[in-house]
Structure 1
Amino acid sequence: MAAYRAGVLIGNWSEDESLEEERLKDFMSKRERGELLIQKINKLQDNIFKKIQLSICEDGFVHFGDTVMLLNPGNISSVENYPGTSSNLTLAITVDEIALYSTKSLPAPCGVSAVESVDPMGRNTFCILSVDGAAVGEPIRFGQKFGLGTTGGFPDQMLYVASEHKSFTRSAKKSYLQQVFLRDEPSYLTCWQATVLDPQLRLEYEGFPVPANSKIIITHCHTNRSLAVPRNFWTRSYFGQEYEVNCHTYLDSHKAEEDKNYWVIVTGNPSVEDGTIIDRPNPQSRQDQKK
Structure 2
Amino acid sequence: MAHVRTYRSKVRVGNWNEDEQLEQEALKDFLEKRQRGELTIQKVDFLKQNILRQVSLSVVQDGRLHIGDVVMLVNVGGEDRECSALCINAHLDSVSKLPGPGIAAPCGISAGRSVLPCTRTAFVITSVDGSPEGWTLLYEQSFALKTTSGFAGGLYLISDMQSFHKCAKMSRLQEVNLDDNGSFLSWWKIVHFDPQERLEYEGHPVPANAKVLIIHHKTNQALAVLGNQVLRTIYGNEYEVTAHTFLDSHKAEQDNNHWMLCTSDPAEEAGLVGHP
Q: TM-score, normalised by structure 1?
A: 0.79
Q: Which has the higher strand share?
A: 2
| Residue 54 in structure 1 maps to residue 51 in structure 2 | no
- Report the AA paired with residue 108 of structure 1: A
Q: Return the alpha-carbon distance in structure 1 between the equivalents of residues 103 and 188 of structure 2.
A: 22
Measure, in 2, the Cα distance between the counterparts of 1:208 and 1:171. 34
> Matched residue pairs, number?
258
Q: Which residue of 2 aligns with 1:107?
A: 104
Q: Secondary structure at the match of 1:229?
A: strand
- Aligned to 1:90, which of 73, 85, 89? 85
Q: Cα distance, 1:151 vs. partner?
A: 2.3
In 1, Cα distance between equivalents of 2:152 and 2:71: 19
- 1:269 corresponds in structure 2 to 265
CA contact (8 A) 1:52 1:274 kept: no
CA contact (8 A) 1:126 1:151 kept: yes
Q: Residue 231 of structure 1 aligns to a residue in which SS?
A: strand
Percent of paired sites with the same residue: 43
Say if 1:120 and 1:274, in contact at 8 Å, map to a contact too.
no
Q: 1:111 to 1:29 in 2, by over 3 A?
A: closer
Amino acid at match of 2:128: V
Matched, 1:227 2:230: no
Which residue matches 2:167? 171
- 1:284 aligned residue: none
Match of 1:189 among 185, 188, 194: 185
**CA apart distance, 1:31:** 4.5
Change in CA separation of 1:160 and 1:253 when aligned onto 2, cut-off 3 Å? same
Residue by residue over 1:88-136, the C-alpha shift from the partner in whole angstroms, topping out at 9 and shown as x without a partner, is 1111011345x26x74332321111111111111111111111111111
Q: Structure 2: how far apart are the matches of 1:124 and 1:112? A: 10
Distance change (3 Å), C-alpha of 1:159 and 1:31: farther
* Aligned counterpart, 2:45: 42
Aligned residue for 2:252? 256
| CA shift for structure 1 position 184 | 1.6
Q: Which residue pairs with 2:237 in the alignment?
A: 241
Paired position in structure 1 for 2:145: 148
Residue identity matched to 1:143 = E
Shift of 1:175: 1.3
Distance 2:152 2:239 in 1: 28
Tell me which residue corresponds to 1:209. Answer: 205
| Superimposed CA distance per residue, residues 166-196 of structure 1 (whole angstroms, 9 cap, x where no aligned partner) | 1111111121110111112211111100001
Secondary structure in 2 aligned to 1:46?
helix
Counterpart residue type for residue 219 of structure 1: I
Distance of 1:35 and 1:132 partners within structure 2: 43
In the alignment, the residues of structure 2 paired with residue 181 and residue 273 of structure 1 have an alpha-carbon distance, to the nearest angstrom, of: 31
Report if aligned partners of 2:168, 2:174 keep a CA contact under 8 Å in 1.
yes
CA contact (8 A) 1:234 1:243 kept: yes
Query: How far 1:156 moved relative to its partner?
Result: 7.3
The answer to whether 1:71 aligns with 2:74 is: yes
Q: Which is richer in helix? A: 1
Q: Which runs of 4+ in 1 moved over 3 A?
A: 26-32, 34-40, 102-105
Alpha-carbon distance, 1:39 to partner: 4.6
Structure 1: where are the runs of 5+ without partners?
A: 1-5, 281-291
Change (3 A) 1:205 1:36: same
Q: CA RMSD in A?
A: 2.9
Greater shift, 232-241 or 177-186, is seen at 232-241
Question: What's the offset of the Cα at 1:45?
Answer: 1.2
Separation in 2 of the partners of 1:260 and 1:12?
63
- Amino acid corresponding to residue 89 of structure 2 in structure 1: T
SS in structure 2 at match of 1:195: strand
Is the 2:230–2:239 Cα contact (8 Å) retained in structure 1? yes
**Scaled by the length of structure 2, what TM-score is found?**
0.83
